Structure 1
Amino acid sequence: MDPVPPHPPHDHPPELPAAALSTGAVARRLGVSPTTLRSWERRYAIGPACREDGRHRRWTAEDIARLELMCRLTAQGVPPSEAARAAVGAAPGGSAAPEPAAAPEPTAAPGGPNALPLGEVRPECRGLARAAVRLDAPAVEQLLDSAVAEHGLVTAWEEIIAPTLHAVGRKWASAGERYVEVEHLLSWHVSCALRRVRPAAEQLRSPSVLLACAPGEQHTLPMEALAAVLGERGLPVRMFGAALPAEALHEAVRRTGPRAAVLWSQSRTTADRALVRSVAAIEWGLRGARGHSALLLAGPGWGTGSPDPRTERLFGLRSGLTVIENALRSADHPEPATRTGPATGARA
């Protein structure tokens, strides 16, 4: 990229490089808050070279490279003032950096030896990963809320949140006990962000959807995402969370009579096929008007096929929503689905 000429002609205002980014875009990319960037600029003079109309900050590739170096150094334990001096003094694209005496902590620097295996992802995904490995809880919270608000819950989950969670899990699996704290912090804040999604004020008057994890299964985040988006669309949900015992699952289906029941399994060790067959055979309701639930299996633990012809596999949040909505529309109900106020609740 050609730098901005130091002395442009007086009759032509300086032009910003085409790739210059706003402070908010840079913050999402790096996984820090805009307030942090402004603080660094004010305290350590590590700001953008260009300003639009003298007021709006615009960060060039060289500006961003300096910020990336500062992020790497602060994540390794270098004090911010020293990291800023090293970043400002480094040549563009260089890596002049004081090394801390202790072994460096994991960082999410692109291409570094400790980089998370993200692959081709959205910039917001890389920013979230960088914030997570720095254990920067406020930035993680802000980035998650921004992703949901800007892209919607389904896109945010499939293109930003889930890829970051998978990358942290893969890194943890290949690095022994390292990164466990990163996974725990990120998972906690993802769960909190999902619970901050408000359900629709009016709920569809239709049979409920039962969500549960298989016995012994502790991974709940995909079910939490599904519960949040169903609630956002006004669909009644009963969420039973992690490791629901087999007897409790049977009782929950019999007592609530859900039109659809979704059972999540993360690994083959929790994918109990005998349980699937027994749940698929459950009938509920009054004698002479018995019904049964559409049993939907979600998660990689079930493999590619279905352990029972009365079940169906779900693959991904977006496509899974379509399957669930179709199941609800096909419910044998005496009256069509209508909107009710929040006080009346949903009929099972």
Structure 2
Amino acid sequence: MTEPSPGLTSGAVARRLGVAPTTLRSWDRRYGIGPAAHQSGRHRRWSPGDIAVLQEMCRLTASGVPPAEAARAARAGAVPAAPAAGEAPARPADHGPALGDVRRELRGLGRAAVRLDSAAMDELLDSAIARHGLVTAWEEVLAPALHAVGRKWETSEDRYVEVEHLLSWHVSTALRRVGSTGRAEPPGAGTRPVLLACVPHEQHTLPLEALAAGLAELGVPTLMFGAAVPPEALDQAVRRTGPAAVALWAQARSTADHPLARHVADTSWGVRGARSRTAVLLAGPGWAGRTPGPGMLRPTGLREALSLLRGLCVAARDGEGDATASRGS
């Protein structure tokens, strides 16, 4: 005789559906959306039928149905028929290695964003970063979720703007949490930071925030100047700080400012006879289509950008000069 499936824990169900465990407890307490069977003193376990009800509840609330009404509809029609006698019960969808599939985490994060479920978004973002590491989490979960929400907004006549704004805020907050636990020392005597800035007219800062978080994990000091930095301000920041490198982000070709990048790469500082220059990373899809000039590098993604910047900082720290020193010889 086949043993009945033990079902899934609340944590596993929450990760699968993109719902905070506190949301599950609230739905159970308020609307009766909980495990059909619960043994006292044991962890709650969700059967395939229980999960089907939850899935319908999530679908309805995400479409704007009030929770109480969604719960009544979900309980009335979403529970599948029980397996026939002797038939093996349905196998949980996230059984085995598939539980850690980043695609499932991506879908869960998207559902949580559409529901405006802040607690679930925080939990899913922190879980993805802890499980996969910052680079993989950014490339496979965070950035795709942001792109998907952006596409949904663009194709829905300006609906879901609030979803994009809320998700962006929570992604930014999660990245700053990573940065705050990194081992980077503040820029000071003997250290040359990496300067991070968006080109003028560029408002997309999240990729730069991911870069800052990754550099913090590597122990590399940074100075984040954020969105739409005016050329004059960028020039002064470079001259005042003498950075090991400057990363300029451009999301679109319409914002990529090649003359500005050339100016930064040509900027020098220091006493006569010992002038220094900095390498410039052309970060973002806006720079595509042109061959980088002398003193410029164009990484293909976050992982390569982190590797290049770390190498430049090590060279500066060890007195080997920067990547552009040989240009003037």
TM-score scaled to structure 2, two decimals? 0.81
Matched, 1:293 2:306: no
Counterpart of 1:144 (choices 117, 125, 137) is 125
1:204-223 to 2 correspondences below 5 Å = 206-223=191-208
Secondary structure of the equivalent of 1:35? helix
Contact 1:128–1:143 (CA under 8 A) maintained in structure 2: yes
In structure 2, stretches of 5+ residues that fail to align are 82-100, 322-329
CA distance in 2, matches of 1:335, 1:269: 36
CA shift in 2, pair 1:271/1:201, >3 Å: closer
Contact 1:52–1:58 (CA under 8 A) maintained in structure 2: no
CA distance in 1, matches of 2:40, 2:4: 11
Contact 1:306–1:312 (CA under 8 A) maintained in structure 2: no
State the match for 1:182 in structure 2: 163
Counterpart of 1:168 (choices 143, 149, 171) is 149
For each residue in 1:14-57, what CA deviation from the matched residue of structure 2 results, as whole angstroms up to 9, or x when unmatched?
Answer: 4317xx43211221222211121123233333323566997223
Displacement of 1:253 in angstroms is 1.2
State the match for 1:270 in structure 2: 255
Counterpart of 1:234 (choices 204, 213, 219) is 219
For each residue in 1:188-234, what CA deviation from the matched residue of structure 2 results, as whole angstroms up to 9, or x when unmatched?
Answer: 12112222222435639642111000011011011111112212321
Deviates more, 1:324-333 or 1:68-77: 324-333
1:1-348 to 2 correspondences below 5 Å = 14-16=3-5, 20-49=7-36, 55-92=42-79, 122-197=103-178, 198-201=180-183, 203=185, 206-331=191-316, 333-334=318-319
Q: Percent identity?
A: 61
Displacement of 1:271 in angstroms is 0.3
CA shift in 2, pair 1:55/1:218, >3 Å: same
In structure 1, stretches of 5+ residues that fail to align are 1-8, 95-119, 337-348
CA shift in 2, pair 1:288/1:212, >3 Å: same
CA distance in 1, matches of 2:181, 2:271: 31
CA distance in 1, matches of 2:290, 2:47: 49
Displacement of 1:304 in angstroms is 4.4
Contact 2:197–2:224 (CA under 8 A) maintained in structure 1: yes
Displacement of 1:64 in angstroms is 2.1
For each residue in 1:251-287, what CA deviation from the matched residue of structure 2 results, as whole angstroms up to 9, or x when unmatched?
Answer: 2112111111100001111101111111111112221
Contact 2:191–2:317 (CA under 8 A) maintained in structure 1: no
CA shift in 2, pair 1:91/1:130, >3 Å: closer
Secondary structure of the equivalent of 2:251? coil
Secondary structure of the equivalent of 2:44? strand
Secondary structure of the equivalent of 1:26? helix
CA shift in 2, pair 1:61/1:305, >3 Å: farther
One-letter amino acid of the counterpart of residue 330, structure 1: A
Displacement of 1:238 in angstroms is 0.8
Deviates more, 1:79-88 or 1:176-185: 79-88
For each residue in 1:56-101, what CA deviation from the matched residue of structure 2 results, as whole angstroms up to 9, or x when unmatched?
Answer: 233344332221111122233333233222212215469xxxxxxx
Secondary structure of the equivalent of 1:295? strand
Contact 2:129–2:137 (CA under 8 A) maintained in structure 1: yes
Displacement of 1:302 in angstroms is 0.8
Secondary structure of the equivalent of 1:74? helix
One-letter amino acid of the counterpart of residue 151, structure 2: R
CA shift in 2, pair 1:52/1:265, >3 Å: farther
For each residue in 1:2-24, what CA deviation from the matched residue of structure 2 results, as whole angstroms up to 9, or x when unmatched?
Answer: xxxxxxx7xx8x4317xx43211
Q: Return the structure number with greater helix share.
A: 2
CA distance in 1, matches of 2:191, 2:271: 18
Secondary structure of the equivalent of 2:122? helix
State the match for 2:90 in structure 1: none
CA distance in 1, matches of 2:42, 2:317: 61
Deviates more, 1:315-324 or 1:197-206: 197-206
State the match for 1:339 in structure 2: none
User: How many aligned positions are there?
Assistant: 298
- Aligned CA RMSD, in angstroms, stands at 2.7
Secondary structure of the equivalent of 1:203? coil
Contact 2:184–2:220 (CA under 8 A) maintained in structure 1: no
Deviates more, 1:124-133 or 1:154-163: 154-163
TM-score scaled to structure 1, two decimals? 0.77
CA shift in 2, pair 1:211/1:45, >3 Å: same
Displacement of 1:237 in angstroms is 0.5
CA shift in 2, pair 1:65/1:269, >3 Å: same
Displacement of 1:250 in angstroms is 1.5
One-letter amino acid of the counterpart of residue 4, structure 2: E
